[in-house]
Amino acid sequence: MVNLILFGPPGSGKGTQSKNIIDKYQLIHLSTGDLLRAEIEKQTPLGLEAKKFIDQGSLVPDEVVIGMIGSKLDANPDAKGFIFDGFPRTTAQAEALDKLLALKKTAISIVLSLEVPEDELIRRLLNRGLTSGRSDDANEDVIKARIVEYHNKTAPVADHYAKFGKFKRVKGDGTVESTFELLSKEIDELVSERV
Ligand code: AP5
């Protein structure tokens, strides 16, 4: 199995590149942001609770997202591999993911981290907020709060995987196409090592 984490701050292109990667490599895309937004759309109790955190630019509690990912892994027993987008976002989530994958006799293959300067992140998200309807793109204060959460709680996840030699930085401020080429190169290397 090939299990990738697409890592990076809000607006770095994780969702955009995940779509390209699943088309090319037939992996299952697991985005905790998308799963939470689907719960909000359906107005489930979980969604209504999560919305309070998302609207402020804060992370949703670990146990909520870990439970969602556990269910999705169980629901896809025949997957060739997974691409995790927006998860794990804390060291506790990373440790939980490692355990969930170990139960399935697999592990994270690599973490690919999209590197984009902060002014470009803000520009992209404000621009998307004009049309997306995403409440957390609506104003610059919430976008900045999401970036602060990233630096405080998510960036340390890099160390968790770097100590196993599984963390790689990829330039993410080029075009969508050129970034996809860089990511493909990394994934192709990984796939060829496994054949
Ligand atoms: P989530 O949905 O994961 O949002 P995010 O990490 O803030 O990421 P975004 O979707 O904003 O950005 P992205 O990196 O996917 O970039 P995208 O491709 O969309 O999470 C939302 C919230 O849910 C969190 O704040 C938190 O509250 C909660 N949550 C989710 N997961 C959680 C977890 N595990 N634990 C706790 N809470 C959790 O691109 C952004 C824009 O840029 C798009 O308009 C795109 O078209 C454009 N773009 C992309 N690439 C390029 C490029 N190369 N050039 C120009 N424009 C580009």
**Residues whose beta carbon lies within 6 Å of some atom of ligand 1:** 8, 10-16, 32-33, 36, 53-54, 57-60, 65, 86-87, 89, 93, 124-125, 128, 136, 146, 175-176, 179
Domains and CATH numbers, the chain: 2-194 (3.40.50.300)
Cα(23)–Cα(142) distance, integer angstroms: 32
How far is C-alpha 47 from the geometric centre of its chain's CA atoms?
19
Q: How high is the mean pLDDT in each 10-residue block of the chain (195 residues)?
A: 96 97 94 97 96 96 97 94 98 98 96 98 94 88 96 97 96 98 96 76
Cα(39)–Cα(42) distance, integer angstroms: 5
Q: Is the pTM of this model over 0.90?
A: yes
ipTM of the complex: 0.97
CA-proximal residue: ligand 1, atom 56 (nearest): 124
The type of residue at 183 is: L
Q: In what order do the strands lie in the sheet with 2-7?
A: 28-31, 81-85, 2-7, 110-115, 167-171
Tens of pLDDT, residue by residue over 28-58, are 999 999 999 999 999 999 999 999 999 999 9
